Amino acid sequence: MLLPMAPARDPMTPRVARVRKRRRDGPQVFTLDIELDTAEADDLAPFAPGQFNMLTAFGIGEVPISLSGDAARPGRLVHTIRGVGAVSTALVGLRPGDAVGLRGPFGVGWPMEEAVGKDVIVVAGGLGLAPLRPALYHLFTQRARFGEVTLLYGTRSPDDILFRHEIESWRRRLDVDIEVTVDHALADWHGHVGVVPWLIPHASFDPEESVALVCGPEVMMRFTIAALRDAGLGEDAIYLSMERNMKCAVGLCGHCQFGPVFVCRDGPVFRYDRVRDLLALKEL
């Protein structure tokens, strides 16, 4: 007798989740922990570092938001959001117990298996640290599988540093190199001042056996790529998260078309050599 097959986990299926926790992580930046009921959570597909969900503020709209939590804890969905538009502002205003719509996970994540045995350089700018945080969790919990691990993080000012307490905790580890820089600061700041690509020449890694994971504003990523290339990394060793104008999550609406690729469907993580020529076109 054939047993009925379990229904496939469909990321397109809308679900209603609830905000469990809300935490302020910067100016207009809040981290929401959301959860489904037990039955829905059991049916939710696990996510990979670098993927995103579509979150709905009911009555207002839906936006793509990267997952910023630990992929080893799939039942706990964490999203770090800056309130800048109507939907994101509504999302950051949600309180514990409020409902939020959820679809996902979607997209191509960070190349964690390809990085095994290699040095890993994580370069983040501003809110770009949020999509990289799941990759950092993976690197830290699977630390013996990787070579040197370096996090270089840059933001506008000390007040804009995301996950400050967590970064301070990570810096106490003896097996990770972490450097933080800011664009400007007052006299009570004793760290680096300057843009994050300036830190790359001082980082410790073997360019022949390294992988770089980069996320931040596009101008920051362009200069970071140049610095990584100057340091000897190949174009096939650099990965970027390109979160451009995503709308439907499956490449149907065309909002995020980037030359021949769709960021939501073919990304948001791309190997640099795949999008190098597209990044050189200002109109894109």
Domains and CATH numbers, the chain: 15-106 (2.40.30.10), 119-241 (3.40.50.80)
Distance (Å, rounded) from C-alpha 229 to C-alpha 80?
30
Q: Which residue stretches of the chain have pLDDT < 70? A: 1-9, 38-43, 244, 281-284
What is the spatial distance between Cα 4 and Cα 98, in angstroms, rounded to a whole number?
36
pLDDT value for 253: 79
Give the span between the Cα atoms of 64 and 88, in whole angstroms. 10
Q: Which of 108, 116, 46, 118 is nearest to 77 (CA)?
A: 46
- pLDDT, position 6: 41
- Integer-rounded Cα radius of gyration of the chain: 19
CB 264 within 8 A of CB 250: yes
Q: Give me the pLDDT at residue 256, please.
A: 78
What is the distance between the alpha carbons of residues 163 and 238, in angstroms, rounded to a whole number? Answer: 24
